[in-house]
Amino acid sequence: MARKHNWLAYALITMVTWGIWGAFSEVPDYPATLTYVVWAISMIPCALAALANIRFKLDVKPKSAALSMGVGLLGAAGQLILFEALKYGPAYLIFPMISVAPIVTVILSTVFLKERVSKLGAVGIALAFVALVSFSLSNSTDNSAHGYLWLILASLVFVCWGTQAFVMKLANNHTPDAESVFVYMAISAVVLIPVALAMTDFSQPVNWSFNGPYLTFIVQILNAIGAFALVYANRYGKAMIVAPLADAVAPVITTIISLVLYAHIPTVPQIIGIVSAISCVLIFSRE
């Protein structure tokens, strides 16, 4: 089904779904830990679609399974920490912060996978990082209003997700199909559900109406679809290109939607970030 030249299409799907997900992640009125549970459940339909695509022939070789589970656990742990971070800081600060995670991916891919890109591709990566840093700096003056616990938690997500993209490439190199990698990611997400439930304070009232678990599922399914597409993008593209591209443009979409919803005027760094991210997409489309 997936073809090598489609890596950019899969990356674009990830960028759009994650961008919308980021913008609406704070809308549902639901506890952060239970949001994780809903997200893990939202991975199941995508996992079933992945299994159906390979006729339910899951790769069970130990190395493939171990690497794929590693991808899933890093991603799931990052998600669990992210939902906690969103309790203490706003999405418009946190998502740009964790979007710089591709720095970790690029370093690991360069050192261990010996990945190289063309000069034009290098310009694209540089523009992606300009976008990431611009979005981070655009809200740096607001930190004092929200404390620093969110910053510590977001930093942990940064490490988890930056490493995850690198391990995802390793898993794809040792697994015959991208679908198996995603299925193990979904399994890892479900495995951590008891941890999320144990962290939940059920003595506090929980919103069980539509804007609680149901709206949360609608938002989180976008996250799951983006993760599914990202596995394909990493399989057929270079990790050091896919990671910056996906993570540079998703905040653009998140920021634009947030600016429209809340009628904010873009700051100079945000404008620089938007222009840089769009430029890097155009460059990578020629890679």
Classify 95 as helix, strand or coil. helix
Give the pLDDT confidence score for residue 139 in this predicted structure.
55
pLDDT reported for residue 145: 47
Total tally of structural domains belonging to the chain = 1
In a domain, 130, yes or no: yes
Instruction: For the chain, give the secondary structure using H, E and C.
Output: CCCHHHHHHHHHHHHHHHHHHHHHCCCCCCCHHHHHHHHHHHHHHHHHHHHHHCCCCCCCCHHHHHHHHHHHHHHHHHHHHHHHHHHHCCHHHHHHHHCCCHHHHHHHHHHHHCCCCCHHHHHHHHHHHHHHHHHHHHCHHHHHHCCCHHHHHHHHHHHHHHHHHHHHHHHHHHCCCHHHHHHHHHHHHHHCHHHHHHHCCCCCCCCCCHHHHHHHHHHHHHHHHHHHHHHHHHHHCCHHHHHHHHHHHHHHHHHHHHHHHHCCCCCHHHHHHHHHHHHHHHHHCCC
pLDDT of residue 180: 93
| Residue 222, CB-side half-sphere exposure with 13 Å CA sphere | 17
Task: In whole angstroms, give the CA distance from residue 177 to residue 168.
Answer: 12
Mean pLDDT for the stretch of residues 134-153: 64
Q: What does the block give as tokens for 279?
A: 């430029």
Nearest to 22 by CA among 89, 96, 88, 76: 96
The answer to the question of residue 1 being in a domain is: no
Tell which residue, 120, 121, 97, has the closest CA to residue 109: 121
Q: Are 58 and 180 in contact (CB under 8 A)?
A: yes
In a domain, 174, yes or no: yes
**60-114: pLDDT as tens digits:** 999 999 999 999 999 999 988 988 888 787 776 677 667 767 778 878 888 888 8
Q: Is residue 20 part of a domain?
A: yes
**The pLDDT of residue 28 is above 60:** yes
Q: Give tens-digit pLDDT for 231-283.
A: 888 888 887 778 777 776 787 787 778 777 766 666 787 778 777 777 776 67
The yes-or-no verdict on residue 5 having pLDDT over 70 is: no
Q: Which domain holds residue 228?
A: 11-24+31-284
Q: Examine residue 2 and state whether it is found in any structural domain, yes or no.
A: no
**pLDDT, position 188:** 95
Report the pLDDT value the prediction gives residue 138, as an integer from 0 to 100: 61
DSSP state of 175: S
Residue 284 has a pLDDT of 62
pLDDT of residue 174: 86
Task: Judge whether 4 lies within some domain.
Answer: no
At 122 the three-state DSSP class reads helix
User: Could you say which DSSP state residue 56 is in?
Assistant: T
Question: Domain for residue 215, yes or no?
Answer: yes
Asked if residue 61 belongs to a domain, the reply is yes
Q: What angle do CA 154, 141, 17 make, to 5 degrees?
A: 45
* Structure confidence by residue, pLDDT tens digits, 146-204: 557 877 888 899 889 889 989 988 988 888 888 999 999 999 999 999 999 998 989 98
Residues 213 and 9: beta-carbon distance below 8 Å: no
Which pLDDT value is given to residue 286?
60
- Is residue 1 very low, low, confident or very high in pLDDT (cuts 50, 70, 90)? very low
Is residue 213 predicted with pLDDT exceeding 70? Answer: yes
Global pTM? 0.78
Residue 245 one-letter amino acid: L
Q: Which two tokens stand for residue 6?
A: 């489609």
